[in-house]
Amino acid sequence: MPGAVRTANGCRLCTRGAGFEGRAEGRYGMCGVIGLLIRDRDLQPQLGAMLVSMIEALDERGPDSSGIAVYADHRSGGVGDTPRVQVSLGSDEAVDWGNLAGALAKQFADGADAHPFGAGLVVEVSPDQQRSLTEFIRDGWPGVRVLATGLDLRVLKDTGRPSDTCARFGVTHWEGYLAVAHTRMATESAVTVLHSHPFVPAGDLCVVHNGSFSNYATVRRSLMATGVQFDSDNDSEVAARYLARRLEQGDDLEEATRWVMKEMDGFFTLVISTAGELSVVRDAFACKPAVVAETGDYVAVASEYRALAELPGIATANVFEPRPEEVYTWSR
């Protein structure tokens, strides 16, 4: 785009010359990040409504696309109490999802339950079927990608205004114990479903990012050399996959997050979630905003306070800004 600079992971910014670029990136590069951990079981049915109020408030920070991840206790619903893996599917192309659901039913006669979810599908399979499911899709449905896998996790991604996406897919009715979401204003790579956050580099692990990484190509090359595969050319995906690699090597979430800070150069507020943990971290200069509201009932993280303003009990919540380079982690 002529007259625009590519800066933070999402921002189309008019520039008035090179001198303005750094300032523009630091202060006006946008995207909205959201995390919501419900502590009070009775509040779980309201997760969707709380989440939508947060996403709507950050709509203008990221009008290009959005992604919403929700964790709910699906495990108990498994046949014979066997946990089933939730596989969220999405695509940048027009896909006949009904057709795919039918094909899956035929292929996996002993159970691959496909449900429409957001702009795509969620398929529930037993853990030992997960590999054959992903192979079936890779070989027969080349436009379709796995957006997420997890025992508790489902992920929706779509382009367009995040508030429209919430309305279209009835996000307000969602239930669960944890959610992360992202509203994207793209700068660094294309506006598509697959370029949208959250990135899910391992089962039940989500990463959303506001900011930009400058050394991501280098880190991606070194990860690829060790066999890590990427779904997009997005800088945030590199941080997500680096984090997953650290976790795989035995780090806990906090240690792995510290390694991201050490190895990835750039500006970031990262919101990270696992099945049961929510984490937030900001770069050394706190270039990107973040506000936390904590009550006995929930912990909410957002780019701006206005995304927290509608939450129940906000007037008496402990509201604070995470300090730079400090890893904050909350458990269920």
33-72 binders of another protein (CB under 8 A): 57
Residue (93 or 325) nearer to another protein, CB: 325
CB of 302 to another protein, least distance (A): 10
Amino acid at 61: R
Residue 319 Cβ, how far from another protein at the closest point, in Å?
8
Is 305 among the residues that bind another protein (CB under 8 A)?
Answer: yes
In the complex with another protein, which residue's Cβ is closer, 95 or 286?
A: 286
Least distance CB 293 / another protein (angstroms): 11
Rule CB under 8 A: say whether 308 interacts with another protein: yes
| Choice between 233 and 310, CB closer to another protein | 310
Which residues share a beta bridge with 5?
13
Binding test (CB under 8 A) with another protein, winner from 93, 248, 255, 321? 321
- Interhelix angle for 130-140 vs 97-107, to 10°? 130
Given a contact cutoff of 8 angstroms between Cβ atoms, the answer to whether 36 and 161 are in contact is no
| Cβ closest to another protein, residue 43 vs residue 293 | 293
The whole-angstrom distance between residue 268's C-alpha and the CA centroid of its chain comes to: 14
Per the annotation, the verdict on 31 as an active-site residue is yes
The CA distance from 307 to 82, in Å, is: 38
Q: Minimum CB separation from another protein for residue 77, in Å?
A: 38
The C-alpha atoms of residue 86 and residue 288 are separated, in whole angstroms, by: 32
How far apart CA 127 and CA 124 sit, in angstroms, is 9
Environment class of residue 268 by beta-carbon count within 10 Å: exposed (0-12), middle (13-18) or buried (19+)?
A: buried
Nearer to another protein, 6 or 306 (CB): 306
From candidates 289, 293, 295, 299, binder to another protein by CB under 8 A: 289
Residue 168 DSSP SS3: helix
Mapped onto helix, strand or coil, the DSSP state of residue 226 is coil
- The encoded tokens of residue 151 equal 């025992």
Which residues would be at the binding site for another protein (CB under 8 A)? 27, 57, 285-286, 289, 291, 304-310, 319, 321, 324
